[in-house]
Amino acid sequence: MFWQEDDKPKDFEVSDEIVDLVFDIQCRELPVDHAHDLFRALEAYLPQLQQDRRLGVHTVHLAGSQNGWERPDPQLGQKLILSRRTKLTLRVPKDQLQLVQDALNGADLEIGGCALKIGKSKEKKLSNQGTIFSRYVVLEPGEDGDENAFLQRIVGHLRERGIRVKKALCGMTAEVAGPDGPIQTRSIMIAELRSKDSVRLQQEGIGPMRHMGCGIFIPHKGIDAVKKAEDDS
């Protein structure tokens, strides 16, 4: 854990240079680990998806484990059961918005044997919230068993980019199926960023595999509740 107190962030107007493009979808179910299959299906419509690092694909996630809900087990052949409100979200630079919308509107995808139809989309600005979270950041060799090494690398890398990290908290490791085998990842939450740094990190991400949902940051409720839960456990 990395923890440092500082002043409250000031108001900041979020640029629309890069936004989230949120698509309606028609899809009954998806494999739990669908990142690579989703990328391959989208790549047929967006061949630039892997080459343009400004583009990112959010994997589809449902509600957490509250209220008795348990995440399906892919080893048992279980799948994510989607609702009508489930969306597909891509992080897209402004100069690619129309191209992505035109390419994907009405597209029919097959993702791990599951049919998904893409509908209309809406633009959503990134958040100026100071606490952001990435579910999957690709690990370097040896980091799967060394949380501190991972954390220090991330903090140091962001410092080199001019982003000052005051509070950060690692989460669990997870394997993501890739083209050449499993990819080792870990989640991370970063808190009390300056608004301009939060937006920049959401725009640029961290590490490789943005086209498979890795290194993409989203707003989070806050780090204090997570720390309190750990202290109480």
CATH of residue 205's domain is 3.30.70
Q: What is the pLDDT along the chain (233 residues), one digit of tens a residue?
A: 666 655 444 567 899 999 999 999 999 999 999 999 999 999 999 999 999 999 999 999 876 544 444 566 655 567 999 999 999 999 999 999 999 999 999 999 999 999 999 999 999 999 999 999 999 999 999 998 899 999 999 999 999 999 999 999 999 999 999 999 999 999 999 999 999 999 999 999 999 999 999 999 999 976 554 444 444 43
Given the structure tokens 């949120």, which residue do they identify? 22
Residues 45 and 107 in one domain: yes
CA angle 5, 223, 182 (to 5 degrees): 125
12 falls within a domain: no
26 close to 119: Cβ distance less than 8 angstroms: yes
Q: Which two tokens stand for residue 144?
A: 């799967």
Q: Which of 103, 125, 147 is the last residue of a domain?
A: 125
55 close to 92: Cβ distance less than 8 angstroms: yes
Task: Say how many domains are in the chain.
Answer: 2
User: Which residue segment(s) compose the domain that 57 sits in?
Assistant: 18-125
The 3-state DSSP class for residue 57 equals strand
Q: How far is CA 157 from the centre of its chain?
A: 19
Tell me, what's the pLDDT at 62?
78
Q: Which of 125, 156, 183 is the last residue of a domain?
A: 125
Tell me, what's the pLDDT at 67?
41
Residues 70 and 158 in one domain: no
Q: Which two tokens stand for residue 198?
A: 């939060």
How far is it, in rounded angstroms, from Cα 189 to Cα 16?
Answer: 23
Residues 216 and 133 in one domain: yes
Residues 145 and 207 in one domain: yes
Q: How many of the other CB atoms lie within 10 Å of CB of 10?
A: 9
Residues 118 and 131 in one domain: no
In the Cβ-directed half-sphere of 27, how many Cα atoms lie within 13 Å?
30
Tell me, what's the pLDDT at 229?
40
Tell me, what's the pLDDT at 77?
64
220 close to 134: Cβ distance less than 8 angstroms: no
Residues 207 and 136 in one domain: yes
Residues 221 and 132 in one domain: yes
Residues 47 and 74 in one domain: yes
Residues 56 and 115 in one domain: yes
Tell me, what's the pLDDT at 78?
75
How far is it, in rounded angstroms, from Cα 104 to Cα 16?
Answer: 20
Tell me, what's the pLDDT at 7?
47
Q: What is the DSSP letter of 7?
A: P
Given the structure tokens 């739990």, which residue do they identify? 32
Closest to 177 measured CA to CA, from 44, 39, 57, 35: 35
